[in-house]
């Protein structure tokens, strides 16, 4: 009888520690993420699955990072996967398919040759970011939703685990 009680106590203790550890990891370190749609093609594909890093957001959000963004949709809360283009207090301008940050030309070498960005301009405040999909022709991003607040950015970077052919840090 004592062995069973000891076993049950150890089992409950192990389960409790495991649940607490998983909770801490998912709340503060990384989160599971599924890419929906083709707005990040060709870097990310529809249904790519992986983990995005919450902790890296807290270390700083940089230009061209891939970010997971929480938006309030009228029907439900939604997560978007986009690329950070503009940082706080910057003026982001696209003119003739060229990116200018504070009137300085910036190269976007990750974009395919067939991607075209229509002209637009956005001026960002202290805690705002301009985030766009790599497949600009089909992406709903800052051009549609406006600038994203830092609080809306949940995590950055994405380690794709599945499908295996796409495995890697993006």
3-class secondary structure per residue, the chain:
CHHHHHHHHHHHHHHHHHHHHHHHHHHHCEEEEECCCCCCCCCCCCCCEEEEEHHHHHHCCCCCCEEEEEEECCCCEEEEEEEEEECCCCEEEEECCEEEECCEEECCCCCCCCCCCCCEEEECCCCEEEEECCCCCCCCCHHHHCCEEHHHEEEEEEEEEECHHHCEEC
Q: What is the pLDDT of residues 38-71, one digit of tens each?
A: 999 889 999 999 999 998 887 899 999 999 999 8
| Residue 165 is a catalytic residue | no
State yes or no: is 39 an active-site residue.
Answer: yes
Q: Name the catalytic one among 39, 52, 139, 142.
A: 39
Average pLDDT of the residues of the chain: 91
Encode pLDDT of 104-121 as tens digits: 999 998 887 788 899 999
Reported confidence tier of residue 166, pLDDT bands at 50, 70, 90: confident
- pLDDT above 70 covers a percentage of the chain that reads 97
Give the residue with greater pLDDT, 67 vs 29: 67
Active-site position among 52, 57, 82, 155:
82
Predicted TM-score of the model (pTM): 0.85
Q: What is the pLDDT of residues 66-93, one digit of tens each?
A: 999 998 766 667 889 999 999 999 999 9
**Which of 89-98, 112-121, 160-169 is the most confident on average?**
89-98
Most confident of the following: 22-31, 76-85, 123-132: 123-132
**Residue with the larger pLDDT of the pair 47 and 6:** 47
Is residue 145's pLDDT more than 80? yes
Per-domain boundaries in the chain: 32-169
Assign domain 32-169 to a CATH class. mainly beta
Q: Is residue 1's pLDDT more than 80? A: no
């Amino acid at each position: 009888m004592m062995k069973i009680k000891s076993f049950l106590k150890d089992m409950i203790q192990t389960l409790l520690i495991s649940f607490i550890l998983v909770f801490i990891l998912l709340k503060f370190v990384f989160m599971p993420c599924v890419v929906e749609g083709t707005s990040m093609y060709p870097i990310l594909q529809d249904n790519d699955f992986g983990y995005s890093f919450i902790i890296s957001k807290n270390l700083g959000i940089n230009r061209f990072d891939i970010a997971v963004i929480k938006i309030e949709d009228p029907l439900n809360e939604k997560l978007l996967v986009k690329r950070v283009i503009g940082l706080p207090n910057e003026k982001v301008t696209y003119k003739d398919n060229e990116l200018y940050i504070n009137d300085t030309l910036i190269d976007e070498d990750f974009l395919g040759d067939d991607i075209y960005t229509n002209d637009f301009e956005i001026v960002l405040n202290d805690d705002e970011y301009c985030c766009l999909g790599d497949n600009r022709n089909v992406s709903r991003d800052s051009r549609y939703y406006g600038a994203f607040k830092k609080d809306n950015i949940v995590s950055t970077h994405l380690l794709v685990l599945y499908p295996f052919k796409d495995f890697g840090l993006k």
